[in-house]
């Protein structure tokens, strides 16, 4: 989950301080102290093993076996320790062949929402649908892939800091994630060379391109002495990536039949249509051509008031426009009561002990952190030109999948199609020339189409019919088929 540009504006709801940047090629201690652990079976269920690497002397990884969720696969949990900052993660082996299958990194959005939402609500090996705990999920994305779920940045989910340290920008968070990935692959060498895919949804549309670019650039710095991470692709579900080209799409979702019949009255829509040119001009002048934090924030507030605030009066679910949800439902459980069951499960002392959650983490689990959200908003992080990272990755052969549920309002398919068509890169003309084509689960249209897709030169845009913001939650079979097509390179 769980927040696009609208929630950037609407607020309805171990040893030292920050890690210093490592100088590549100049380790702070003897290389001989680093011994790869290699075999994950050697990990304990009761105690953490601590992994380090001389290239990143300020980073360590604590990891242990954690028997929970799905007894058919091996699961691990732990922390990425960056001096006094600690990022929690889950790792699940593939149900198929963990020794050969690809590796996936998943993050939820927010900014400030825990990836436990993706794990227990959407695409993990188990789901939590009521107060009885976990149940087996047959359409998990670890069906034939190894997968990480990461609570990032600091302060999200089970992640914590010793002295109140925070991270306020995606670029800063990217350094921590890239270092962790490197240390993990260096220790568990069986994963070296595997195809690696970085994935996320919502604000993950900002996170994932920046994180992937950091991994790619880190590879270039370390290539002479270490095996590069085989960064193969990025996947973004219902993301916010190009705020400028996605900005006006709420008009289409509220005032046209882009997904469902119009939900606002004609007078409201006429007013919104008249405001759009002013918003485009103000954003371009203050946020795009020259970034001025004060003027950009003023433009965002003005345009949010006129283009998005009317939606909240309609009492619809911003993550599924076909469903009702009042302000209390949005504030209390993001319009999905299942999130309350996830919070209750992750607040159980026995569960936290099994996972290895640090005892200093607050006893009552929180799905999303308002503190982290506020820190990122204060830095205007969501108004950076993230699409340029996507273009840079495409130019370097990293494939990109943008998938979108058609019932989402907050990071909708209209805005995502709009920015992918506007993206400046060498394949732009070829991509724009491709029509949208229907696709179906298993290629079988007997049961109807799953959505539409456009693809060229490594970039794919795909819709999933009647899915909301959390595509794997609403359409698990279609989401798994989408993933497996992508991992296999089958295409659409």
- Which positions are catalytic? 202, 408, 469
| Whole-angstrom distance, CA of residue 220 vs CA of residue 229 | 10
- Cis omega (within 30 of 0) on the bond before 270? no
Q: Which residues lie below 8 Å from residue 161, measured CB to CB, with a gap of 6+?
A: 84, 85, 86, 154, 155
Dihedral sign (CA 334, 338, 341, 343): negative
- 210-228: burial string, b at 16+ Cβ within 10 Å, e else: bbbbbbbebbeebeeebeb
Identify the three-state secondary structure at position 94: coil
Radius of gyration of the chain (CA): 22
Nearest to 74 by CA among 177, 190, 171, 163: 190
| Whole-angstrom distance, CA of residue 289 vs CA of residue 310 | 28
The half-sphere exposure of 50 on its side-chain side, counting CA atoms within 13 A, is: 8
φ and ψ at 91, to 5 degrees? Answer: -135, 130
Identify the three-state secondary structure at position 234: strand
Q: Which DSSP symbol is given to 29?
A: S
Is residue 68 packed enough to be buried (19+ CB in 10 Å), middle (13-18) or exposed (0-12)? Answer: middle
φ and ψ at 337, to 5 degrees? Answer: -55, -25
Question: Is beta strand 196-202 parallel, antiparallel or unpaired with respect to 231-239?
Answer: parallel
| Whole-angstrom distance, CA of residue 173 vs CA of residue 196 | 19
Helix 170-187 vs helix 204-222: crossing angle, to nearest 10: 50
């Amino acid at each position: 989950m769980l927040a696009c540009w609208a929630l950037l504006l609407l607020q309805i709801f171990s040893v030292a301080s920050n890690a210093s940047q490592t100088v590549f090629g100049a380790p702070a201690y003897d290389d001989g102290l680093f011994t790869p652990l290699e075999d994950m079976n050697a990990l304990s269920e009761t105690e953490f093993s601590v992994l380090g690497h001389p290239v990143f002397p300020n980073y360590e990884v604590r990891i242990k076996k954690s028997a929970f969720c799905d007894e058919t696969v091996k699961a691990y949990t732990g922390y990425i320790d960056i001096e006094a900052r600690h990022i929690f993660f889950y790792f699940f082996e593939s149900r198929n062949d963990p020794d050969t299958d690809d590796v996936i990194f998943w993050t939820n959005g927010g900014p400030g929402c825990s990836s436990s939402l993706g794990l227990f609500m959407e695409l993990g090996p188990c789901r939590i649908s009521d107060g009885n705990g976990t149940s087996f999920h047959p359409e998990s994305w670890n069906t034939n892939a190894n997968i990480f779920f990461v609570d990032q940045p600091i302060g999200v989910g089970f992640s914590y800091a010793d002295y109140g340290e925070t991270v306020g920008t995606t670029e800063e968070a990217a350094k921590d994630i890239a270092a962790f990935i490197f240390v993990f692959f260096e220790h568990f060498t069986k994963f070296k060379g595997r195809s690696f895919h970085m994935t996320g949804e919502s604000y993950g549309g900002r996170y994932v391109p920046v994180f992937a670019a950091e991994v790619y650039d880190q590879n270039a710095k370390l290539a002479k002495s270490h095996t590069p991470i085989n960064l193969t692709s990025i996947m973004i579900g219902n993301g916010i990536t190009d705020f400028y080209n996605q900005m006006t799409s709420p008009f289409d979702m509220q005032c046209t039949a882009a997904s469902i019949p119009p939900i606002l009255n004609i007078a409201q829509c006429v007013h919104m249509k008249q405001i759009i040119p002013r918003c485009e001009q103000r954003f371009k002048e203050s946020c795009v051509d020259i970034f001025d934090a004060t003027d950009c924030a003023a433009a965002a507030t003005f345009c949010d008031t006129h283009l998005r605030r009317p939606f909240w009066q309609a009492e619809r679910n911003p993550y599924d426009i076909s469903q009702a949800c009042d302000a209390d439902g949005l504030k209390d459980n993001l319009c999905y009561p299942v999130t309350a069951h996830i919070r209750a499960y992750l607040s159980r002392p026995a569960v936290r002990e099994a996972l290895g959650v640090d005892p200093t983490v607050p006893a009552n689990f929180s799905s999303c952190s308002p503190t982290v959200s506020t820190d990122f908003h204060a830095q205007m992080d969501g108004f950076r030109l993230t699409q340029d990272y996507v273009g840079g990755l495409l130019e370097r052969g990293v494939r990109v999948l943008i998938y979108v549920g058609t019932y989402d309002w907050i990071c909708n398919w209209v805005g995502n199609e709009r920015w992918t068509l506007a993206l400046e890169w060498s394949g732009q003309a070829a991509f724009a020339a491709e029509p949208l084509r229907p696709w179906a689960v298993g290629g079988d249209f007997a049961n109807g189409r799953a959505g539409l897709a456009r693809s060229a030169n490594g970039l794919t845009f795909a819709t999933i019919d009647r899915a909301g913001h959390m595509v794997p939650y609403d359409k698990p079979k279609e989401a798994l088929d989408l993933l497996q097509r992508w991992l296999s390179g089958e295409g659409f």
